[in-house]
Amino acid sequence: MHAPLAGKVALVSGGARGIGRATALKLAAAGADVAINYYNSHEDAEALAGEVRAMGRQAATIQCSVGDPDSVDELFAAFDASFARLDIVVSNAASGVLKPAMEMKLKHWRWCMEINAFALALLAQHAAPRMKDGGRIVAMSSLGAYRAIPNYGFVGASKAALESLVRSLAQELGPRGIRVNTVNAGVVDTDALGYFPNREALLAEYAARTPAGPVLTPADVANAIYLLCLPEAAMINGTTLFVDGGFAISGMSAPAPSGLAGKTAIVTGGSRGIGRAIVERLAADGMDVTFFYVGNEAAANEVVAAARAAGLAVTADRVDIRDPAACVDAVERVIERRGRVDVLVNNAGVIRDNLLVALEPDDVRTVLETNVTGLFNVTRAVAPHMTSRRSGRIVNLSSVSATRGGRGQTNYAASKGAIEAFTRALAVELGPRHIRVNAVAPGVIDTEMSKDVRELAGDDVLKRIVLRRYGRPEEIANAVWFLASDLAAYVTGAVLHVDGGFKME
């Protein structure tokens, strides 16, 4: 008989009944010897140990309160008396007080946290030194970590804490060959469910909203734990495996809408790189987008053609944003066609990099006139229309250069610093009129505009990026989309850094 866990030793906390019992039997059937921890259910634990031994496996029962450090010390002393190794720990024991959060006391909070979350830390601290050849630690969570369940507030909080702890332990213990994961089970019909005052309502809701149909059994959950213990799961670490028949995907609320569909946006510098990604992201969410460009007509036409082929509403308009009158005329054309401007993205910008002593006056003038004066011109043309409607969102593109030193970028850094100051000041001016003004500060992004900088700096730039890679235009577009959307309705005057953790050294 195939026994993939032959020679392994497992410790299952809360192992005498329900999910713990099913897990102990599953692991034993796969060849593992099992230590069964229990707190009150001595007779159930002994009966289970008898079943495990009947399979030809070694079994031991150990009484312990897993939230008590001294008791856990005793647990592992008893464990060492029966077993010479440890390969698998299943942190399944759970407890709690099922009452409204407003009625709970400090002792209830401590009880939930100690048994349901702190216990995992205690078990891991003792288990890791014994897992000399690596191992598996699996923690049991529940739907309450993500969903508001009546009378489950403190228990749910402890389960959320448990899942966070799992991720930290996975990071710490991964280099030692120890994988730490969570199994988050749906509603399982066990004796423990009988303590819920709304047991029948929970079962009915779960059955009605679960695509897979029936209510979970302890064996279903044990199967998931078993999978995480197999050698084939060696590259699964720090994850939460949902075992709920699909309840989570149908039982939770749909994501909040962005509120952008049907609205109108203007994006400056929209024919290439980050600007093009922004145009496409906003249009994909149902916006009518007009983008300004100044020189590359072929690139602008390509953006429009691609967008319209995808059924998106995108229009290009050649505008020199350094010209105030041209900006007013361009905005009026959008107003004539659409009747409103809901979102303005000031993305257009240029670089003229060189050391300060080598910069020509035109290098400084061109950068400031395009990056700063151009932003003023377009915003000043749009703002009256937003103000009259008492609604609008303005997103300005800054740069990591505004706050991080960059050799040869004094003119560019000055322009981006000005944009951030402009953003904060305008947010104060327009906030009372329900117009939000924010900025996105990209790091080094893989675009044509940054090509020379990336090639010149080489690996030196990557070493300053915590994530050790360049950003993508789409990642900046997502940040702009967020700030333009209803999801950022309470965000104004902010600078959102999207730079992979770019740091000053």
Residue 405's domain is classified under what CATH number? 3.40.50.720
Residues 116 and 222 in one domain: yes
Residues 6+ apart with CB under 8 A from 302: 271
Among 212, 229, 251, the domain-final residue is: 251
What is residue 148's predicted lDDT score, i.e. its pLDDT?
73
Helices (H) and strands (E) in the chain, counts: 18, 14
- The edge-to-edge listing of strands for the beta sheet with 178-185 is 59-63, 33-38, 9-12, 88-91, 135-142, 178-185, 240-243
HSE, side-chain direction, 13 A CA sphere, residue 31: 11
Residues 272 and 367 in one domain: yes
pLDDT at 346 over 70: yes
For 373-398, how does the pLDDT look when each residue is reduced to its tens digit (9 = 90+)? 999 999 999 999 999 999 999 999 99
What is residue 412's predicted lDDT score, i.e. its pLDDT?
81
Confidence of residue 504 (pLDDT cuts 50, 70, 90): very low
- In-domain check, residue 4: no
- In-domain check, residue 257: no
Compute the distance between CA of residue 352 and CA of residue 207 in angstroms, rounded to an integer: 64
Mean of the per-residue pLDDT values for the chain? Answer: 88
What is residue 396's predicted lDDT score, i.e. its pLDDT?
98
List Cα–Cα distances, 266 to 259, 378, 441, in angstroms: 16, 9, 19
- In-domain check, residue 340: yes
pLDDT at 205 over 70: no
pLDDT at 213 over 80: no
Residues 127 and 188 in one domain: yes
Helix axes 18-29, 218-229, angle to 10 degrees: 50
Residues 282 and 242 in one domain: no
Residue found by looking up tokens 């102990």 in the block: 24
Catalytic residues: 152, 159
State which amino acid sits at residue 83.
F
The 3-state secondary structure of 242-277 reads EECCCHHHHHCCCCCCCCCCCCEEEEECCCCHHHHH
Going by C-alpha positions, the residue among 306, 313, 243, 318 that lies closest to residue 285 is: 313
Percent residues over pLDDT 90 in the chain: 65
pLDDT at 502 over 80: no
Compute the distance between CA of residue 335 and CA of residue 310 in angstroms, rounded to an integer: 24
Residues 292 and 428 in one domain: yes
Under DSSP, is residue 139 helix (H, G, I), strand (E, B) or coil?
strand
Identify whether the C-beta of residue 368 lies closer than 8 Å to the C-beta of residue 349: no
Residues 346 and 482 in one domain: yes
Residues 94-98 have a mean pLDDT of 81
Under DSSP, is residue 214 helix (H, G, I), strand (E, B) or coil?
coil
For 146-167, how does the pLDDT look when each residue is reduced to its tens digit (9 = 90+)? 877 777 788 889 999 999 999 9
For 107-151, how does the pLDDT look when each residue is reduced to its tens digit (9 = 90+)? 999 988 999 999 999 999 999 999 999 999 999 998 888 877 777
- In-domain check, residue 143: yes
CB neighbour burial string for 265-286, b if at least 16 within 10 angstroms, e if fewer: bbbbbbbbbbbbbbbbbbbbbe
Residues 286 and 387 in one domain: yes
Neighbours of 339 (CB within 10 A): 10
Residues 171 and 312 in one domain: no
pLDDT at 252 over 90: no
Residues 77 and 30 in one domain: yes
What number of residues does the chain have? 505
Residues 6+ apart with CB under 8 A from 184: 141, 142, 143, 145, 146, 163, 240, 241, 242, 243, 244
- In-domain check, residue 165: yes
Among 251, 275, 310, the domain-final residue is: 251
- In-domain check, residue 1: no
Residues 445 and 321 in one domain: yes
Compute the distance between CA of residue 288 and CA of residue 285 in angstroms, rounded to an integer: 9
What is residue 97's predicted lDDT score, i.e. its pLDDT?
78
State which amino acid sits at residue 402.
A
Residues 32-49 have a mean pLDDT of 96
HSE, side-chain direction, 13 A CA sphere, residue 430: 28
Confidence of residue 408 (pLDDT cuts 50, 70, 90): low
Residues 401 and 295 in one domain: yes
The count of domains in the chain is 2
pLDDT at 312 over 70: yes
Percent residues over pLDDT 70 in the chain: 87
- In-domain check, residue 503: no
Residues 173 and 278 in one domain: no
Bridge partners of 242, per DSSP, are 184
Give the DSSP per-residue string, 4-72.
TTTT-EEEETT-SSHHHHHHHHHHHHTT-EEEEEESS-HHHHHHHHHHHHHTT--EEEEE--TT-HHHH
Higher pLDDT residue, 190 or 445? 445
pTM of the model: 0.53
Among 196, 218, 251, the domain-final residue is: 251
Compute the distance between CA of residue 487 and CA of residue 505 in angstroms, rounded to an integer: 34
Helix axes 374-389, 324-338, angle to 10 degrees: 30
- In-domain check, residue 259: no
For 395, the domain range is 264-498
Identify whether the C-beta of residue 279 lies closer than 8 Å to the C-beta of residue 291: yes
Considering only 39-48, 89-98, 329-338, 431-440, which range has the smallest mean pLDDT?
89-98
* Phi, psi of 212, rounded to the nearest 5 degrees: -75, -10
Residues 293-301 have a mean pLDDT of 93
Can you say how many angstroms the Cα of residue 336 is from the centroid of all Cα atoms in its chain?
41
